[in-house]
């Protein structure tokens, strides 16, 4: 199997297992689906942490308002009594005014937080270091885990305007958000390897040959952005080791310069004429009056 190390810019994303016979278009579809799925999992996890801390999201017309303003405007969250966490709520006020402050109890909070941790670990970038390939099935499993945890804690479901429910139902609107900048639609996705774009309509073997035991570093790029930067000749770890070696070498040379002492040249063993003097009886001669 061919192993692809997928990057976006210089940032590692995940490993993908494929074959040289696979069409480039199919590979792009797989990569785009896994990449988008990982982003979705991460967005849901972030919102689930807030859900565990401060309860469900307030309706859009109530977010950011103080309690006095809500009373003056006679606004009431109709979902507060419908979406009650299992075991009853615990009051944890949201200082940003996004959520209603009726949070799950500690036991239910632990269910949400533990599931978030497991889901993130499943699709983490650290899987690259562990040499584990990520698949669409793994992303789906992570989403199913998160959906199941929410159903356990909120059996009546979440409000239709809650971003977690919107993500599960595919109704999320990311326009104007920072998350929208990370998106990579499949039809805009390009793959680059060795400064070459992998063209749709061709197979992977058209670029890398027929050796299945191949490892590639490919980079995702949006259409119109041109070729991505080339991979550095040295990895970060190799560069660090090289700099450490030269630092030690400079320290050694510095010590040698400090220890540059010529006094040993006056020693007997360094005298090239010492053997000749011994034969002529010229050793241990002392000058001066007796």
Give me the pLDDT at residue 14, please.
Answer: 95
Q: Which pLDDT does position 135 carry in this prediction?
A: 95
Q: Is the pLDDT of residue 188 over 70?
A: yes
- Asked whether the beta carbons of 174 and 180 are under 8 A apart, the reply is yes
User: Between residues 89 and 67, which one has the greater pLDDT?
Assistant: 89
- Alpha carbon dihedral 38, 43, 47, 48, in 10-degree steps, equals 0
Encode pLDDT of 227-266 as tens digits: 887 766 666 777 788 888 888 888 878 877 776 555 555 5
Angle 205-207-211 (CA atoms, 0-180°, nearest 5)?
45
d(CA 45, CA 97) in angstroms, rounded, equals 20
């Amino acid at each position: 199997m061919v192993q692809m190390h997928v990057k976006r810019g210089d940032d590692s994303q995940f490993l993908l297992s494929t074959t040289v016979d696979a069409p480039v278009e199919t590979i792009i579809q797989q990569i785009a689906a896994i990449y988008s799925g990982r982003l979705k999992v991460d967005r849901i996890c972030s919102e689930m942490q807030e859900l565990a801390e401060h309860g469900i999201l307030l309706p859009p017309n109530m977010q950011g308002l103080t309690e006095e303003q809500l009373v003056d405007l006679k606004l009431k969250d109709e979902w507060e009594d419908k979406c009650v966490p299992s075991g009853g709520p615990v009051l944890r006020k949201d200082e940003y005014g996004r959520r209603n402050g009726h949070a799950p109890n500690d036991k239910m909070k632990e269910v949400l937080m533990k599931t978030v941790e497991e889901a993130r670990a499943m699709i983490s970038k650290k899987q690259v270091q562990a040499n584990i390939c990520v698949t669409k099935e793994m992303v789906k499993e992570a989403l199913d885990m998160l959906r199941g945890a929410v159903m356990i804690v909120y059996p009546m479901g979440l409000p239709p305007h809650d971003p977690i429910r919107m993500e599960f139902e595919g109704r999320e609107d990311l326009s104007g958000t920072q998350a929208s900048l990370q998106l990579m639609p499949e039809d805009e996705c390009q793959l680059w390897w060795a400064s070459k774009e992998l063209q749709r309509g061709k197979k992977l073997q058209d670029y890398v040959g027929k050796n299945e035991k191949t490892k590639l570093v490919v980079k995702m790029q949006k259409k119109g952005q041109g070729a991505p930067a080339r991979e550095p000749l040295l990895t970060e770890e190799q560069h660090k080791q090289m700099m450490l070696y030269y630092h030690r070498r400079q320290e050694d040379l510095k010590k040698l310069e400090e220890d540059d002492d010529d006094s040993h040249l006056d020693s007997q063993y360094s005298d090239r004429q010492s053997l000749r003097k011994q034969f002529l009886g010229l050793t241990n001669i002392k000058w001066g009056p007796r």
